């Protein structure tokens, strides 16, 4: 354990209960956990929650191992003493070279409390539980190693609780599947794919819009003469708005692909997605902004964790009286809460139309305007499909939604992000954010009021 010194000494020990399973590259391990061991609250985590599903309200969890990566989970908190009980159904059929592990990691915190004889007493021992599955290069056999003490009576019967109460994913989140319901508040409803013409109409340069598959897919073209764009037929006060976009491929420096909501008044409200092109091989930058009462200057910029030019990806906005949430493939990348009580205006009484456009902005879009559009690479093409609108349609001059409170997005579970969504957003902020106005002290010597409420700082 090491030499005991004055004050606090940290040493480490391990207790492992490991089961090596002969598993294959395409395996799933189902775990049913008890409430006996808890999970560390502030763990670092990776992304890819999107393939995560719950069953039995999260009491049954599947861990998936594929060729590209493995997965695991851990307790949210640390404990001194505990009863650990996890029930597993191992992979069926052939499963060579995979491993399922259940282990308890001890962090020993030793505080010196010395008696007259000079003996030191251990005041606290913290533990943390981990469960994981991975692949190895050799065939393994079942190995069980347990270190513990003998007791006079068996532990209390475990109480089965959902996964999300005590546990959280640690890495490769898309390789964990959840069965029989969701543990937390519901995400936005799944968008309904409809043709372009149902909800939208061209606004300018009509000949630079191409239609495919009966209007279920379109392309916007930008050349040295003009860009193009379209808008929604109706105006909306609150709702859920989504479309799938494949960005301009190759050398797209100087171009901007925009998807946003905006009102028509002088003190207008606006909710922006702007995708800033870049030189070949450099990542796209996604910029978001929120205007309220004509005031913007709330830019945030992130790198995407995928190449948005290879496949279609979903970009959506949830807007209700309590919050505005920006989603990329159902992963929240930004939230803007209603902070009216802090003196911050919030879009609530100006109906907005939806717009999208592809245009040249080489005076600012790429490296602050240093990289200009290379027209020899044109025409530049952005592709769109799944033109989903589920909103409260209102006249341009309306001040409120006539059916306010009756829509799914008005319900209590959509007034805030749930714990899982906050963890996703935290990951985006920590790993993908390259600019956040909330932390820019040159522009804002005093942090804007809404930043703490939005957990941006």
Catalytic residues: 270, 274
Cβ count within 10 A of residue 97: 18
Torsion of CA 88, 183, 172, 175, to 10 degrees: 60
Whose tokens are 């491993």? That residue is 99
Contacts of 140 (CB under 8 A, 6+ apart): 20, 21, 22, 97, 99
List 245's β-bridge partners, or say none. Answer: 313, 384
Cross-sheet strand order for the sheet of 71-75: 8-19, 98-111, 124-135, 71-75, 167-171
Q: What is the largest CA-CA distance in the chain?
A: 92
Residues 6+ apart with CB under 8 A from 401: 237, 238, 392, 394
Closest C-alpha to 269, from 231, 324, 202: 324
Among residues 454, 430, 439, the alpha carbon closest in space to that of 323 is found at 454
| C-alpha to C-alpha distance for 183 and 302, rounded to whole angstroms | 29
272 contacts 334 by C-beta, under 8 angstroms: no
Give dist(CA 427, CA 344) in Å, integer.
26
Q: Percent helix, strand and coil across the chain, each rounded to 5?
A: 10, 40, 45
DSSP string, 385-431: EEEEEEEEEE-TT-SS-TTTT-SGGGSGGGSS--HHHHHHHHHHHHH
CA atoms lying within 13 Å on the CB side of residue 44: 2
3-state class of 51 per DSSP? coil
H or E element that contains 131: strand 124-135
How does DSSP classify residue 352? Answer: B
292/368 Cα distance (integer angstroms): 25
Calpha distance 401→239 (Å, rounded): 10
Residue 342 DSSP SS3: helix
Q: Would you tell me how many other CB atoms lie within 10 Å of the CB of residue 42?
A: 7
């Amino acid at each position: 354990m090491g030499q005991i010194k004055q004050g606090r000494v940290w040493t480490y020990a391990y207790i492992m209960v490991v089961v090596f399973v002969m598993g294959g590259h395409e395996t799933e391990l189902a775990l049913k956990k008890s409430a006996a061991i808890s999970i560390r609250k502030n763990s670092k985590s990776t992304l890819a929650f999107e393939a995560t599903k719950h069953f039995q309200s999260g009491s049954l969890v599947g861990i998936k191992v594929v060729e590209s990566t493995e997965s695991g989970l851990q307790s949210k908190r640390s404990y001194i003493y505990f009863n650990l009980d996890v029930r597993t159904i191992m992979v069926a059929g052939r499963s060579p070279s995979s491993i399922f592990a259940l282990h308890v990691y001890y962090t020993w915190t030793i505080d010196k409390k010395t008696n007259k004889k000079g003996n030191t007493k251990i005041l606290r021992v913290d533990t943390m539980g981990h469960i994981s599955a991975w692949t190895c290069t050799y065939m393994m056999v079942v190995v069980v190693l347990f270190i513990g003490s003998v007791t006079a009576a068996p532990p209390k019967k475990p109480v089965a609780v959902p996964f999300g109460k005590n546990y959280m994913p640690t890495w490769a989140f898309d390789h964990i599947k959840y069965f029989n319901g969701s543990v937390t508040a519901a995400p936005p409803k799944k968008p309904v794919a409809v043709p372009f013409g149902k909800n939208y109409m061209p606004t300018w340069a009509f000949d630079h819009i191409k239609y495919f598959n009966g209007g279920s897919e379109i392309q916007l073209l930008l050349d040295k003469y003009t860009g193009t764009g379209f808008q929604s037929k109706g105006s909306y006060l609150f709702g859920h708005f989504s479309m799938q976009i494949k960005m301009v491929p190759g050398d797209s420096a100087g171009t901007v692909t925009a998807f946003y909501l905006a009102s028509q008044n002088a003190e207008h409200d606006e909710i922006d997605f702007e995708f800033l092109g870049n030189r070949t091989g450099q990542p796209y930058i996604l910029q978001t902004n929120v205007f309220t009462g004509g005031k913007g200057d709330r830019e945030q910029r992130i790198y995407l964790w995928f190449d948005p030019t290879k496949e279609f990806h979903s970009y959506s906005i949830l807007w209700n009286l309590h919050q505005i949430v920006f989603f990329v493939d159902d992963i929240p990348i930004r939230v803007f809460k209603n902070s009216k009580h802090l003196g911050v205006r919030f879009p609530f009484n100006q109906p907005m139309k939806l717009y999208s456009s592809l245009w040249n902005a080489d005076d600012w879009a790429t490296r602050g305007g240093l990289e200009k559009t290379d027209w020899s690479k044109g025409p530049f093409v952005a592709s769109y499909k799944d033109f989903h609108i589920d909103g409260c349609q209102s006249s341009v001059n309306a001040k409120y939604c006539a059916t306010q409170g009756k829509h799914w997005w008005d319900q209590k579970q959509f007034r805030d992000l749930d714990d899982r969504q906050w963890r996703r957003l935290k990951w985006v902020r920590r790993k993908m954010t390259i600019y956040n106005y909330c932390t820019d002290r040159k522009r804002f010597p005093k942090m804007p009021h809404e930043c703490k409420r939005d957990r941006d700082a």
